[in-house]
Every structure is written in structure tokens, then in C-alpha cells.
Amino acid sequence: AFGWLLEDSHHHGNLTALRKVQRGVLAMFFFSTGGDLDDVWYDRTNWLDHDQHECDWFHKKSFKFSDDEIRIESPCNSTSRGDAEREYEMLWLDSNGLVGSLPQELCMLTS
């Protein structure tokens, strides 16, 4: 995860502290749950794409709760600081083939 962050030109540019932490924590999550291994995650669309906002990396789009289906447009909230400053609110990747352990750093995602 640290190597990926070092390669991320956006990380060295104008990202806020929030975005740097968010991207770093999600990169740790990706590697610690097998996202980098072939045939582990079923969908890893845009994950670790340096040119994509981390809120646009693959997430589960809907889930069924009882008889109701709930649609999730984004795992992030909108802020008054603009679209680039969206903050992670949920990490919903059930049935995506994750393995391994959740990194302790997930608690650094404050929302």
C-alpha cells in the first residue's frame, strides 16, 4: 500500500490531508483483503486507479434489506467543499470474494 501511495502523483500534489488518509487506508484495505491477487476480488473496478477519486472505486450499488432494495449511489457523502472532497461513509463489498484480515487503519476513516 505504501508503494502505491509513493507512485500516486496526486498524493504528492494538492490532495488534502483527508484525501491522503482516505486513499492510504483504502489501499491498505485492498491489499490486506486480497484485492491485488488474481481471482480473489470479483470486482475491483477502478481500485487503486491513480486518476480516479477513491469514492469512484467499485462499491456495491444496492442491497436487499427485508423486502426492500436500497440503492447506494456513492459510498461517500457530499460536502460543502466540493465534489473532490467527498468523504467515505461506508464500505460495502459483501459477496466480492474478500479474504484476509481487515486492517486496523480502517478506523482512521472518520465517517
**pLDDT by position in tens, the chain (length 111):** 888 888 877 666 778 888 888 899 999 999 999 999 988 999 999 999 988 888 889 887 766 666 777 677 778 887 656 666 788 888 888 888 999 999 999 988 876
- Which of 72, 68, 70 is CA-nearest to residue 89? 72
Could you count the other beta carbons within 10 Å of the beta carbon of residue 64?
A: 8
**What pTM does this model have?**
0.82
Cα 55 to Cα 74: distance, rounded to the nearest angstrom = 7
The sign of the torsion formed by the CA atoms of 39, 42, 46, 50 equals negative
DSSP 1: -
Grid cell locating 41: 476480488
